[in-house]
Structure 1
Amino acid sequence: MILQQLQIYLRTHHQASLEELAHQFKTDADALRDMLNLLIRKGRVRKLASKQCGGCHSCAPDSLELYEWVNSGSR
């Protein structure tokens, strides 16, 4: 069920950080990463190059890990 919700969320929002997804679905980031990797293998999602911040090292790594919906077809 959450895999389908994850796809709907990304399809609607186009891009999201792992931190945002974990907060949205109240799910562990590692579990979401596994689901995202499945969607990557299916060609529905791609992982974007990590967002760079100012170098202060205070940003949570999960907030810099970005994913994007790429499949314009169904589901």
Structure 2
Amino acid sequence: MILSDLRDYIKVQRKVALIDLINHFHMDADAIRGMLGKWINKGKIKKIPLETSCGTSCCKCDPALTEIYEWVDNA
């Protein structure tokens, strides 16, 4: 996968969870995060902060399930 593949996928999906990117591209989470960082630095993608929790205090949620990324339109 190259950066433009990641960009195009997120652009079409608008919002996507990290786990979906892992499954779609068959890549490690850290590798995808590194590529996402390039687009975040360019202001094209933003990480959406998790606003709600599952209601428990165990902190055992897989970060890949709770990391959401969104395409940013800079018209």
Q: Shared fold by TM > 0.5?
A: yes
Aligned Cα root-mean-square deviation (Å): 1.8
Structure number with greater Rg is 2
Distance 1:48 1:36 in 2: 13
Unmatched tracts of structure 1, length 5 or more = none
Distance 1:54 1:26 in 2: 31
Native 8 Å contact 1:18 1:63 kept in 2: yes
Distance 1:54 1:6 in 2: 32
Runs of 4+ in 1 over 4 A off after TM superposition: none
Q: Give 1:45 shift.
A: 0.1
Number of aligned residues: 73
Unmatched tracts of structure 2, length 5 or more = none
Letter in 2 for 1:35: M
The percent identity for this pair of structures is: 40
Letter in 2 for 1:23: N
Please report the TM-score for the alignment, with normalisation by the length of structure 2. 0.83
Does 2:29 match 1:9? Answer: no
